[in-house]
A = this chain, B = another copy of it.
Amino acid sequence: MAIDRRKQIIEAATSSFSLYGYKATTIDQVAKLANVGKGTIYTFFKNKEELFDEIINGLIIEMKAVANEAVSHSDSFYENVHRALYRLLEFRKQHQLTIKLSQEARDIGTPAVVEVMEKLELAILNFIKDKVVLAIKKGEIKECDPEITAFIMMKLYIALIFDWEKKHKPLGKAELSQLFEFYIFKGLST
């Protein structure tokens, strides 16, 4: 046993971050969970934050894969963006790590965690931005600033999923898709 120590450490840390958050996870705990001496962790990672960043980078790669899986070339731009955003936010809702971290960012404001959550949001933003650029080239949508468009799409989606739920009953996937199409694509004007 105990061959790939690096992987063991990452797995132990991921598990502990998911369960207790970043701040409440101690290096001693991770070492114990990984069946590794504490010093060993520091031969692989400069410090606690670098270990954390490594894990988040893995998460971002995972999320990109999830988002790309949701995209189908035979579907329209808006269907693809809707499905990708939906899957991404579903991912966030289902993965203990992202849940715990967004709680910690909101409730405690641990700087390292806030930073990382911004990085995650930026990754999503860039994903959409790329899709927007492509859609403009293909003539699927009007000419527009891809950055603002991606920003608006994400903000709208987050508002509809997270903020709307605070005071109303949650919107289903189909409703969400419809609203997204109605407001962003078709427009309100008669």
Count of chain A residues with a beta carbon within 8 Å of a chain B beta carbon? 26
Q: Which of A152-190 contact B (CB under 8 A)?
A: 152, 155-156, 159-160, 163-164, 179, 182-190
- A contacts with B: majority SS: helix
On whether the beta carbons of B141 and A183 are closer than 8 Å, the reply is: no
Q: Which residue of B lies closest to A181 (CB)?
A: B189
Q: Is A151 in contact with chain B by the CB < 8 A criterion?
A: yes
Choose the segment among A4-12, A27-35, A56-64, A142-150 that binds chain B (4+ C-beta atoms closer than 8 Å). Answer: A142-150
Q: Which of A9-57 contact B (CB under 8 A)?
A: none
Q: Is A130 in contact with chain B by the CB < 8 A criterion?
A: no
Q: Is A140 in contact with chain B by the CB < 8 A criterion?
A: yes
* Copies of this protein, total: 2
On whether the beta carbons of B188 and A142 are closer than 8 Å, the reply is: yes
Closest chain B CB from A75 CB (angstroms) = 14
Given contacts A151-B159, A155-B156, A155-B159, contact A140 B190 (CB under 8 A): yes
Q: List 30 A-B contacts (CB under 8 A).
A: A78-B188, A78-B189, A139-B190, A140-B190, A141-B188, A141-B189, A141-B190, A142-B188, A142-B190, A144-B182, A148-B164, A149-B188, A151-B159, A151-B164, A152-B156, A152-B160, A152-B183, A155-B156, A156-B156, A159-B159, A183-B183, A183-B184, A184-B187, A185-B187, A185-B188, A185-B189, A186-B187, A186-B189, A187-B187, A187-B188
Q: Which residue of B lies closest to A109 (CB)?
A: B107
Closest chain B CB from A136 CB (angstroms) = 10
Closest chain B CB from A178 CB (angstroms) = 11
On whether the beta carbons of A163 and B152 are closer than 8 Å, the reply is: no
On whether the beta carbons of A155 and B149 are closer than 8 Å, the reply is: no
